[in-house]
A and B are shown apart, each in its own frame.
Chain A
Amino acid sequence: MSDIDLRACSLHELRESLENKQISSVELTQFFVDRIKLLDPQLNSVITPTMDLALKQAKQADQRIAHGDDSALLGIPILHKDIFCTEGVKTTCASKMLADFVSPYDATVVSALAKSGAITLGKTNMDEFAMGSSNETSHFGAVKNPWDLSRVPGGSSGGSASAVAAGLAPCATGTDTGGSIRQPAALCGITGLKPSYGRVSRYGMIAFASSMDQAGPMAKSAADCAQLLSAMAGHDPLDSTSAKLAVPDYATEIERPVAGLRIGVPQEFFDKQLSPAVADAIHTALRQLEAMGATLVDVKLPSTPLGVSTYYVIAPAEASANLARYDGVRFGYRCEAPQNLEDLYVRSRTEGFGEEVKRRILVGTFTLSAASYDQYFMKAQQVRRMIANEYDEVLANVDVIAGPSAPNTAFPLNDASKSITDMYMEDVFTVGCNLAGLPAMSIPAGIVEGLPVGMQLIGRSFDEATVLRVGHQFQLQTDWHRQVSRIAEFAS
């Protein structure tokens, strides 16, 4: 065991080591449990560690391995974003509202990964109800970026990104409503995939904006993400928006070279909002893809600047209804000694939700109200179609679209100079895919001033295979994804 660097191993390598009995699942799990204990106090990436459960599951996995079971993720530890319901383990959504909530059932993503043999290491920190781009809105405190502890990891899946980047787990789950997998993946230097809307079941994933929420894998490489997606994807009878489509064999698909692929480069992704250093890194990465035989094509997505406002009308509107169930009646926080029903509602919600969540509920309640529905909500849905149509038209001529995942590298925690709407602008390159339902991935593509840069690859609807393939082929030729944070280097 001593000669394997477990932090650097791909999921495939870990499976081989387990299969060859070079290491047991219990040992592997214990390794990451120890790292969480040792390093997470600095990162705050995990809300609820499930060490006992993990070791119990690892023991069972070792028995299954001994009996010749070769399930794809058997014995491999994983962290789940605390937005996924886990039976018998707290699911908080990083909110005071659900601080003590224990789900009586598992999310489909959780049960699917468990069925493939994955070991649950714990539940990761996040922005409250996934509303945020910096992981500072969590009721359980901000998460730190392992590359620089004074900086944010991005959000909302900041805990998952930080933990994987720090080597606290080989992989994690995340969710992405407006960039919540891709942006933290970019800021923490890992690979994160948001699948097409409907590719992965949303059952048991606490809803933020139902028409855009998607679960996806976060790991060290596109190949690892492909392996995880294979286990997560597919129709779920409990989620009628999940697509009844066959899931391709991603492991085979990603091995095909990129030569001959057409890669669209939208000029709107390189406007003044993009930091010049990030722009340089992305241009270099694009030239790499070109050198590998892909053709770069200039494309136009003119409605890109409208994405943020469109998204920030629709997502809070849906959220305002999705979060109405947190009323202090059947589960979740209830205020002390309510005087009457109205008091119970108002105080439970006012005390149970954090500021950003309340801000968005107010905005969403407003845009849906009778007097503003047409002016805001309906309008945003129309612009949403314009944006989706633009992506469709571009993707009719190119195989993938490539550009930056976020306008900047990781920014400082508690940055008072950033207004609410500045923060929303973090999502300018990511929200388009959520509005259009397209698959998109962020892969490490450079380092600027000691901080990672993420390149975003956007594919056609339900064509995660090509996105993963471009990412994997890029990672075969580059080693940005092997660069690790200082904390990750810290040997146990």
Chain B
Amino acid sequence: MAASTDVTPIAALAKLAISDQSFSQVKENFESTLKLFEELTRVDTNGIEPLVSPGDRHQVLRVDTDETLVERAELMQNAPAQEENYFTVPRVID
């Protein structure tokens, strides 16, 4: 099944808004990029293992010890909004 190339639900997933003025341009660019990918669908990749990361290396593990690298105040120094040591966002109604 070929995926729908409708850009609107994709923008919603990505939490991006597309303005009415830019919509046709965004749509055109989006579709032309997907067109570029069409050549891939024609490649025979039967039996080829996907490559996630280059090289044949594996995970290096960390010893379980605790360490504070940066103090809380500095970690939160860039927060656009904070109160009582919390980050804050508009009230979420669940």
Chain A interface (Cβ within 8 Å of chain B)? Answer: 100-102, 104-105, 196-198, 211-212, 235, 237, 240-241, 243-244, 305-306, 308-310, 312-313, 320, 327-334, 338-347, 349-350, 353, 358-359, 361-363, 365-367, 369, 371-372, 375-376, 378-386, 388, 419-421, 424, 435-438, 461
CA distance A198 to B53 in the complex (A): 10
A-B contact pairs, 21 of them (CB 8 A): A104-B74, A211-B54, A212-B54, A306-B43, A309-B40, A310-B40, A313-B40, A332-B80, A333-B80, A341-B92, A359-B30, A362-B16, A363-B33, A366-B30, A375-B2, A375-B3, A375-B41, A381-B50, A382-B48, A435-B54, A461-B55
Structural contact, B90 and A376, CB atoms closer than 8 A: no
CA distance A402 to B87 in the complex (A): 52
CA distance A100 to B37 in the complex (A): 36
Shortest C-beta distance, B93 to chain A (Å), equals 8
Q: Tell yes or no: B85 within 8 A of A by CB.
A: no
Chain B interface (Cβ within 8 Å of chain A)? Answer: 1-5, 7, 10-11, 13-17, 26, 29-30, 32-37, 39-41, 43, 45, 48-55, 57, 59-62, 69-70, 74-81, 87, 89-90, 92
Structural contact, A361 and B70, CB atoms closer than 8 A: no
| CB-based nearest A residue for B61 | A240
Please give, as numbers and ranges, the residues of chain A lying within 8 Å of B49 by CB-CB distance. 382, 385
Please give, as numbers and ranges, the residues of chain B lying within 8 Å of A388 by CB-CB distance. 51, 54
Shortest C-beta distance, B13 to chain A (Å), equals 5
| CB-based nearest A residue for B17 | A350
CB-CB under 8 A for A437 and B34, given A244-B60, A346-B17: no
Please give, as numbers and ranges, the residues of chain A lying within 8 Å of B43 by CB-CB distance. 306, 379, 382-383, 386
Structural contact, A309 and B89, CB atoms closer than 8 A: no
| CB-based nearest A residue for B19 | A350
Select which of B4, B52, B57, B59 is within 8 A of A243 by beta carbon: B57
CA distance A332 to B3 in the complex (A): 33
Structural contact, A327 and B15, CB atoms closer than 8 A: yes
Structural contact, A378 and B50, CB atoms closer than 8 A: yes
Structural contact, A385 and B50, CB atoms closer than 8 A: yes
CA distance A198 to B75 in the complex (A): 27
Structural contact, A346 and B54, CB atoms closer than 8 A: no
Please give, as numbers and ranges, the residues of chain A lying within 8 Å of B36 by CB-CB distance. 308-309, 312, 421, 424
| CB-based nearest A residue for B9 | A369
Structural contact, B62 and A362, CB atoms closer than 8 A: no
Structural contact, A332 and B78, CB atoms closer than 8 A: yes
CB-CB under 8 A for A366 and B3, given A350-B17, A361-B16: yes
Q: Is chain B's interface secondary structure helix, strand, loop, or mixed overall?
A: loop
Structural contact, A198 and B55, CB atoms closer than 8 A: yes
| CB-based nearest B residue for A235 | B60
Shortest C-beta distance, A108 to chain B (Å), equals 12
Shortest C-beta distance, B58 to chain A (Å), equals 10
Most buried by A among B10, B48, B51, B89: B51
CA distance A105 to B74 in the complex (A): 9
CB-CB under 8 A for A330 and B17, given A313-B37, A341-B89, A359-B33: no
CA distance A419 to B29 in the complex (A): 9
Please give, as numbers and ranges, the residues of chain B lying within 8 Å of A338 by CB-CB distance. 89-90
CA distance A126 to B87 in the complex (A): 30
| CB-based nearest B residue for A241 | B53
Structural contact, A365 and B54, CB atoms closer than 8 A: no
Shortest C-beta distance, A367 to chain B (Å), equals 8
CB-CB under 8 A for A349 and B15, given A332-B78, A365-B10: yes
Please give, as numbers and ranges, the residues of chain B lying within 8 Å of A419 by CB-CB distance. 32
CA distance A104 to B78 in the complex (A): 9
Shortest C-beta distance, B32 to chain A (Å), equals 6
CA distance A379 to B5 in the complex (A): 17
Most buried by A among B34, B37, B45, B77: B37
A346-B15, A385-B48, A461-B55 are known contacts; what are 12 more A-B pairs with Cβ within 8 Å?
Answer: A306-B40, A331-B80, A338-B90, A339-B90, A346-B17, A359-B26, A362-B7, A365-B14, A366-B3, A379-B41, A380-B37, A421-B36
Please give, as numbers and ranges, the residues of chain B lying within 8 Å of A366 by CB-CB distance. 3, 5, 7, 10, 30, 34
Select which of B15, B52, B92 is within 8 A of A381 by beta carbon: B52
CA distance A388 to B74 in the complex (A): 42
Please give, as numbers and ranges, the residues of chain B lying within 8 Å of A101 by CB-CB distance. 78
| CB-based nearest B residue for A340 | B90
Structural contact, B79 and A330, CB atoms closer than 8 A: yes
| CB-based nearest B residue for A373 | B3
